[in-house]
Amino acid sequence: MAELNGKPVEVDALKNLALTNYGHFTSMRVDDGRVRGLSLHMERLQRDCRTLFGTDLDPQRVRDLARRAAPSSGSVVVRVTIFDPGLDLGHPGSAGDPHVLVTSRPAFDLPLPSLRTQSAVYVRDVPSVKSVGLFGILHHRRTAQLNGFDDALFVDEQGAVSEGGTWNIGFFDGDRVIWPEADCLAGVTMRLLQQAREHDTLPVRLADIPRMQAVFATNAAVGVRAVSGVDGIAVPDNHAIIDNLRKQYMEVPGELL
């Protein structure tokens, strides 16, 4: 399913998005018409729209358009992409007429198998914005997969961990849940878990991972997913904290889309 401003999308309308790759989005898992953290998704879209286009976005209109892609029963992932079809590559400062592209795809059955990750030195452009510019993310994911891993884990030049390409990462040291203190996109699932339980936000380096009892990834589509390895470091993927975090996340009430 794909609609632009509530109407079936035509190829020409997407040409500018494909050629300029300027815009932002959010992806929401919709279960039986409800979304965990819906208000946070709407806040993200409003904030990023002001950052990229200097204009306000009507969250109620976005919800109305997104609802068209979500069945009343069952689970899907709805993506809302905001872009300006009239953007001029030579004068992006003139872009200020954001359109709403809504697409949907089937949701994964949960939980997913654990992830094996390969570290990569990379910081996304404007990390606080969920941008449609995915070249660096996909390049590092492809490299990791060609090397026998599932995905890439981003670190800086000093080995400080930040995030995955489309997910946040968290750690459990035996006493507390730790989220990395780093420039990254604060995901909705991460924020909901931070609200649900006590945690610390601290610098985490690759050298710290061997002492962690559990490592996990979070995003709206998969919830909480165990990480079983980083580079050559094996991490247990069956620690009780993983199930505990999943339970806490699943207990977050969904908001009606």
Segments forming the whole domain that contains residue 16: 2-106
Last residue of a domain, one of 74, 106, 138: 106
CB contact set of 155 (below 8 Å; sequence gap of 6+): 119, 120, 121, 122, 161, 162, 205, 206
Please determine, for residue 95, whether its predicted confidence score (pLDDT) is greater than 90: no
CA distance 50 to 63: 18
Instruction: Please report the pLDDT score of residue 60 as a whole number.
Output: 97
Please determine, for residue 98, whether its predicted confidence score (pLDDT) is greater than 90: yes
For residue 68, give the H/E element and its range.
none
Residues 13 and 56 in one domain: yes
Residues 144 and 200 in one domain: yes
Instruction: Please report the pLDDT score of residue 240 as a whole number.
Output: 97
Q: How far is CA 104 from CA 32, 67, 244, in A?
A: 14, 11, 29
Q: Which of 4-13, 87-96, 98-107, 182-191 has the lowest mean pLDDT?
A: 87-96
Give the tens place of pLDDT for each residue, 186-241. Answer: 999 999 999 999 999 999 999 999 999 999 999 999 999 999 999 999 999 999 99
In the chain, the number of structural domains is: 2
Last residue of a domain, one of 54, 74, 106: 106
Residues 128 and 70 in one domain: no
CATH number of domain containing 80: 3.30.470.10
Cβ atoms 218, 170 nearer than 8 A: yes
pLDDT range class, residue 179, cuts 50, 70, 90:
very high
CA distance 52 to 32: 32
Residues 130 and 99 in one domain: no
In this structure, what are the phi and psi dihedrals at residue 194, rounded to the nearest 5 degrees? -65, -35
pLDDT average, residue stretch 119-142? 97
CA distance 188 to 156: 23
Beta strands in the chain (DSSP E): 2-4, 7-8, 24-31, 34-35, 75-83, 99-106, 115-121, 151-155, 161-164, 168-172, 177-180, 200-202, 214-219, 223-230, 233-234, 255-256
Residues 127 and 90 in one domain: no
Cβ atoms 104, 221 nearer than 8 A: no
Residues 98 and 129 in one domain: no
CATH number of domain containing 125: 3.20.10.10
CA distance 212 to 194: 19
Residues 200 and 228 in one domain: yes
- Of all residues in the chain, the percent with pLDDT exceeding 90 is 96
Instruction: Please report the pLDDT score of residue 235 as a whole number.
Output: 96
Last residue of a domain, one of 76, 106, 136: 106
pLDDT average, residue stretch 69-94? 94
Instruction: Please report the pLDDT score of residue 141 as a whole number.
Output: 98
Residues 132 and 165 in one domain: yes
Q: Where are the alpha helices (DSSP H) in 156-202?
A: 188-196
CA distance 255 to 257: 6
Q: Which of 92-96, 109-113, 142-146, 216-220 has the lowest mean pLDDT?
A: 92-96
pLDDT range class, residue 94, cuts 50, 70, 90:
confident
CB contact set of 40 (below 8 Å; sequence gap of 6+): 188, 191, 192
